[in-house]
Amino acid sequence: MNIEEQINQLREELRQHNYNYYVLDAATISDYEFDMKLKELQALEDKNPQFYDPNSPTLRVGGEVTKNFNTVVHEQRMYSLDNSYSKEDLLDWETRIKKLVDGDVSYTCELKYDGASISLTYENGELLRAVTRGDGIQGDDVTTNVKTIRSVPLKLKGDYPPKFDIRGEIVLPYEGFAKMNQERIAAGEEPYANPRNTASGSLKLQDSSETAKRPLDCLLYNLAGDRLGIDSQFESLGKAREWGFKVPEESRLANSIDEVLDFVNLWDEKRRDLPYETDGVVIKVNNLQQQEELGFTSKAPRWAMAYKFKAEQVATKLNKITYQVGRTGAITPVANLEPVQLAGTTVKRASLHNADQIAKLDIREGDTVFVEKGGEIIPKIVGVDFTKRDPNSTPTEYITLCPECGTPLIRKEGEAQHYCPNTEGCPPQIVGRIQHYISRKALDIEGLGGETVALLVKEGLIKNYADLYVLKREQVIPLERMAEKSADNLIEGIAKSKEIPFERVLFGLGIRYVGETVAKKLAKHYKTINAIIEASEEDLVSVDEIGVKIAQSVQEFFNIEANKQLIHRLQDYGVQLQISAEKLANQKDTLNGQTFVVSGVFEKVSRNELKKLIEDNGGKVSSSISSKTSYVVAGENMGPSKLEKANKLGIAIISEDDFLNLI
């Protein structure tokens, strides 16, 4: 056997032993024997660098240092999940599903692990990259650190597809977490707060050998990609196990919501026996074709629902109520609490939402309050222990003046929140608008963070986001913690932001109610900022998914002279305030005013590609057939009830080829 064969044999042997130990939990050799084989392989690789393999078992120990984690756009978006808390929520969800898909619906139930979400990409059976969830559209490349996690396969086995993503959670088992904290306390260091945050932080350590020391695990549960040759979610879990992934065995196939609830009730008790943190159950429509038919909202898949276990609740003292001012001027009352442990974290503050909430619960300073942390990340106060109230306490009087600038607050009819109307002179509003403008989903200006924005405003160097474009290097170098290199990066990042596409700039302007999705709709419809400024309320409402509330907010924004001046300045500085010529060339009006429903399986293009083609050509995609439907594009296995409804309404049914000819 030559050296190369010897190296390859050792690698394969170690991969199998690693899989047996970390995935199957069934070791076939001792730790000592494993370490000896690993050292033997390391020595052979060191002497023969020509046989380097980026996925060799020797790289599990880490050692590579990453100074900056590159941002990567997910090929398949990572959505959030809608939450439910009762049988009624689930029954409502089931009713919505059955209106949109044909045939019987079954569900895959899986435990919801509380860890750091991760997306792993495999190409030709090898780990290509590992990316954090980030904002769901893009995340950080943490491949070097993830390679140190022993349960993540670096090479797959079996009949895996040529390229796909698999999603899951990086978790820190209770036992490993406790051991880490024992070591930290013995070394005189502060213990970590909870397993989830520690797991998440481990992925962003610069030295991968430090990540390798942490007993992280990777539990996987969702495949993403085109033409994977799999028909159901439950089948995909089995396939992923065969390929070498650690897929939890607790999942179950359910044929009704009652069976789903049986699973929920079982694990609400049994979860305490698991080695990891869990906070609920994820229920997914099992049939993948039905999943495709159901599609997504702007935030979450329609075919999945998270059922949260009952929230943990603790009692603590409310010391003081303070008030925060947001970028829109909205006032948020905050409860400052006596620190208390809740769901693995120390809670010191909780949102009180608005004046109505305070009055409804009759919350007062000095009260003992009940704090809950359920589906929300931010704890909330759900009640008061009136038996412990001081008899001399008085009801809370909501503030009437802005806590930051002293301006009298206003409250619009029908709205729950109070607002500070001093948009141009209230410091948190000024800072907040600029921070929103530079945020990741908007202009994403490299080298410029929220703290730096606050500092630039404090020093009087900027008063609005247009001022960023006249900043000079020599102005920012004297700032605290600003070295020459940092100053260069900041100025360069601002200049580069002029290339950011129009829809993201529109979102970055901070118009109330204009989120990412609405900004895309408006940009696509009007194509230039000037066309949006000139649009009437009636015209705006005619745009798909734009209601009266959004239309009025857009008009209010552009009726303010200061905002118009900002837009003119941004145009003068070269910021993209119209759709690029390249995008315009790809956008056509061939299908303008026409609505399509897509159903079945297609050969030449995937369902998602088909939907994109409809939208790129000016058409609208709908999930259900109605009298407003122009065409149904039918593939193989089109649902019989959709066929029946289309025929009943006289809607034209066209094939994939018919559609492609149409455009």
How far, in Å, CA of 45 to CA of 567, rounded? 59
> Which residues sit opposite 119 in a β-bridge?
131, 167
Amino acid letter for position 135: D
| Contact predicate 105/97, CB 8 Å | yes
For 121, other C-beta atoms within 10 Å of its C-beta total 21
Amino acid letter for position 604: K
112 is a catalytic site residue: yes
Quick one: residue 139, left, alpha or beta (phi over 0 = left, psi -120 to 50 = alpha)? beta
Strand order, beta sheet including 652-654: 620-622, 595-599, 631-634, 652-654
> Which residues sit opposite 301 in a β-bridge?
296
> Which residues sit opposite 408 in a β-bridge?
401
How far, in Å, CA of 52 to CA of 378, rounded? 47
Alpha carbon 167 to chain centroid distance?
12
How far, in Å, CA of 600 to CA of 634, rounded? 6
Amino acid letter for position 393: S
Provide the residue count of the chain. Answer: 663
Q: Tokens 């102005």 appear where? A: 475
User: Which segments of 426-560 does DSSP mark as H helices, in order?
Assistant: 427-437, 450-458, 473-476, 484-496, 502-508, 516-526, 529-534, 537-541, 548-559
**Which of these is catalytic: 98, 112, 246, 412?**
112
Q: How far is CA 357 from CA 99, 332, 360, 387, 388, in A?
A: 36, 11, 5, 20, 20
60's enclosing H/E stretch is none
| Contact predicate 202/142, CB 8 Å | no
Give the dihedral sign, CA 242/247/252/255.
negative
535's enclosing H/E stretch is none
Among residues 592, 564, 593, the alpha carbon closest in space to that of 577 is found at 564
- 141 secondary structure, DSSP code: B
How far, in Å, CA of 466 to CA of 573, rounded? 8
**What's the angle, vertex CA 25, arms to CA 22 and CA 28, rounded to 5?**
95
For 483, other C-beta atoms within 10 Å of its C-beta total 10
How far, in Å, CA of 348 to CA of 337, rounded? 5
How far, in Å, CA of 14 to CA of 277, rounded? 30
How far, in Å, CA of 456 to CA of 448, rounded? 10
Token representation of residue 324 = 């925060």
| Contact predicate 609/603, CB 8 Å | no
Alpha carbon 456 to chain centroid distance?
29
| Contact predicate 377/401, CB 8 Å | no
| Contact predicate 356/385, CB 8 Å | no
Longest dimension (CA), the chain: 89
Half-sphere exposure of 417 (CA within 13 A, CB side): 17
Among residues 266, 240, 241, the alpha carbon closest in space to that of 252 is found at 266
Catalytic residues: 112
